[in-house]
Amino acid sequence: MKLGKFLIPVIIAAGFVAYLSLFSVKEINQAIVLQFGDPKRVISEPGLQVKIPFIQNVVFIDRRILSLDPRPEEVIASDQKRLIVDAYARFKIVDPLKFYVSVGDERVARSRLATIINSRLRNVLGKQSLATLLSEDRGKQMAMIQDGVNIEAQNFGIEIIDVRIKRADLPQANSQAIYQRMQTEREREAKEFRAKGAEMAITITSTADKEVTVILAEARKLSEIMKGEGDGQRNKIFAKAFGKDPEFFSFYRAMQAYEKALIGGETSLILSPDSDFFKFFGSAGLIKNQ
């Protein structure tokens, strides 16, 4: 019974010591074992590990790719244009021992990195014009910024994966002035385009009217020529027909004359009964004195 009373505290004490001696490193972490604040071991592999209780403690450091979103920074371009640049970065802690010795924890590291990124932004983008920053060449500038930040971040055991600009805007006052100037410029260009369009329309209309006049004149000329040729051909046919049978031709011409002269219901003619105009109707008794 006395032995049981003695073993229970021993077992509890051993369990407590084992609890303080064992720790687990997760997949997302890497660990540094400290002895009185002095780093003794760096553990990069996940699993169950052992430390000396009461003497050693463990600091866990994230091994994932982390994001950093520093506050927007105002940059003055080489052409003295002010620009509000909002950037972000992704980084990874690749040397936990150097990281712990140089910055201590992630909060301090983020603050240091934000300062470095903003400094590099001003240094690189300040040498470029606003037009360059808004063009396709901006990718080259971001690569230069990333390389510069990476060189300084290596001192903290950090690798910069990427640095990108989320947004690059002009300050509000500058934006309004530039937008107004752009609007005025676009309105001026629109007026020039309209004036050129009206001038081209007048030129095209004049050219078309001239071409229509020429085409109509040519058509009338060709029509008169063809009409004259047709009249000449008709006269030849009439002359040839008249030569073959003068009496029938005279009768045919008289019928055409009757058709033209007597068309309509209100035509009145006062002619002599023996007029040549009605010579073909005299024998039929169709002429009445009026």
pTM to 2 decimals?
Answer: 0.52
What local confidence, expressed as pLDDT, does residue 85 receive?
Answer: 81
286 pLDDT more than 60: no
Rounded to whole angstroms, the Cα distance separating 219 from 211 reads 12
| Position 233 confidence tier, pLDDT thresholds 50, 70, 90 | confident
Strand 38-43, strand 29-35: pairing: antiparallel
| 261 conformational bin, left if phi > 0, alpha if psi -120 to 50, beta if neither | alpha
| 23 conformational bin, left if phi > 0, alpha if psi -120 to 50, beta if neither | beta
Assess contact for 116 and 87: CB atoms under 8 A: no
What are 53's two structure tokens?
A: 């209780």
Give the number of other CB atoms < 10 A from CB of residue 119.
15
Rounded to whole angstroms, the Cα distance separating 99 from 284 reads 138
Domain residue spans of the chain? 2-62, 66-170, 248-290
What are 175's two structure tokens?
A: 């934006």
Provide the CATH number for the domain formed by 66-170 in this structure.
3.30.479.30
* Residue reference for tokens 């029938």: 248
- pLDDT average, residue stretch 15-25: 77
Give the rounded percent of residues in the chain with a pLDDT score beyond 90. Answer: 14
Residues 6+ apart with CB under 8 A from 40: 33, 34, 56
SS3 157: coil
In the structure, how many helices (H) and strands (E) does the chain have?
7, 9
203 pLDDT more than 80: yes
What are 281's two structure tokens?
A: 């109707």
What are 116's two structure tokens?
A: 């470095």
Q: Is the dihedral of CA 183, 189, 191, 194 positive or negative?
A: negative
What local confidence, expressed as pLDDT, does residue 288 receive?
Answer: 42
Q: Which of 168, 127, 119 is nearest to 148 (CA)?
A: 119
